[in-house]
Amino acid sequence: MKQPRALKSVPTNKRSQSLAVFATRLTGVQLEALKRCANGISLRFDASEIVDPLIAAGYVKRGVAGIITVTAEGHQYLQKHAD
């Protein structure tokens, strides 16, 4: 059984700064997954290495039956990082 990896904390004075630092670490695969989720495509069967960091950052949330939905923060992130 795989053990989830712990997120490393970033030493900063403000919470928003730590989220901004974390946000810049989203991989291209994670960003594409966030875009797909925002377009209504399910991430339910995507690998936990892709989905878990998005949940930890607050960009998506896991609901009933494992359904993943984008949060307001996720939509804001996509607006700022749109191609």
33-73 tens-digit pLDDT: 999 999 999 888 889 999 999 999 999 999 888 889 999 99
Cα–Cα distance for residue pair 52/30, rounded to 1 Å: 10
Cα–Cα distance for residue pair 39/15, rounded to 1 Å: 28
- At 6 the pLDDT is 54
- At 23 the pLDDT is 46
Q: Which residue has the higher pLDDT, 46 or 24?
A: 46
CB atoms within 10 A of CB 57: 20
* Residue position matching structure tokens 């990896």: 5
Q: Write the CB contacts of 27 (distance below 8 Å, at least 6 apart in sequence).
A: none
Q: Go through the domains of the chain in sequence order and give each one's CATH number.
A: 15-80 (1.10.10.10)
**What are the two backbone dihedrals, phi and then psi, of residue 8, each rounded to the nearest 5 degrees?**
-85, 135
Q: Which residue has the higher pLDDT, 22 or 45?
A: 45
